[in-house]
Amino acid sequence: MSKNNAYRPMGSVTGYLISLLLGLALYYALVHLPNLRCWVAYEAVASQTVTSSLYKLIWMVMNFTDAQFYAGFFAGLGLLVGAFWAWRLDVRKSPWRGFSISYGTNLWPWVFASQILSMLLVIYFLNYTHLFSSGEYGWLPTFITVVGGPPAIMLLYGPSWITLITSVLLGSLIAFPIAFWFMTKVVTIFEIPVVVGNVLTMAVLGILMCQIFKVLSWIEKKPLPSIEKMAPPLFLKRKVCGDEPSFLVFKKGIGRFFRSSILW
């Protein structure tokens, strides 16, 4: 085995130190920002989604940061702005693009479309947010179609209108009922954290949708591009920045910094 290809038992120390310094600098900057109260506080949004189309839209944007446990309108908006910017940099092959968004597949528009269309059906057409009106629930797992199912199918099967429409319809119909059942039955009975129910939902949803797509005769798998390679220090630094939004199959550090700063 050549020296360049030798097995590395640990990651890059340089990349780790750079990531550590960036994290400390970001934390120091955020704790010194002023504390602002606004009209998109979580409780206000949840209560208004029952009757207001505007607040349903705000709830949709918040869902993009629900998987990271700090759902917020400005956090979601910051992530989407960062994701769009990252995609444009990727399309232009800019040296500032970091990791190519959506795992190097250049499929972010398709991934984003599957997420938005799924949530439109779940929140507006199926109107699951009406459950807030009972006063029994302070949170609902409408974000499941953002982090699993439809976007994952787009990455597995590639860009195609028929794949997009099928994944959106299927994911919208089965994702929330599965998540709600885990939240109200399994989590309650076994007295486990709600996040366990969400993770189980993503696992079950992924298995179901993948198995169903295997037998659908109109679905055709498209070839995907190979993933780029990076040198160790640069790889570790970008890996740290890009891991958090990987819940959304965006895999992009720019979106993370945008949404974290704006939310704080």
Report mean pLDDT in 10-residue bins for the chain, 264 residues: 52 72 80 68 87 92 85 85 86 74 82 94 94 89 89 90 95 93 88 86 91 91 66 49 49 46 43
Backbone angles phi, psi at 81, to 5 degrees: -60, -45
Q: Domain ranges in the chain? A: 36-263
CA 33 to chain centre: 26
Instruction: Please name which of 53, 74, 56 lies closest in space to residue 65, comparing C-alpha atoms.
Output: 74
Instruction: Please name which of 105, 211, 196 lies closest in space to residue 149, comparing C-alpha atoms.
Output: 211
Whether 26 contacts 94, CB under 8 Å:
no
129 vs 88: CA distance, rounded Å = 33
Q: Judge residue 10's burial from the number of C-beta atoms within 10 Å of its C-beta, 0-12 exposed, 13-18 middle, 19 or more buried.
A: exposed
Confidence (pLDDT) at 197: 86
Query: What ranges in 92-149 are assigned the alpha helix state H?
Result: 108-119, 144-147
CA 138 to chain centre: 21
Asked whether the whole model's pTM tops 0.85, one would answer no
121 vs 127: CA distance, rounded Å = 8
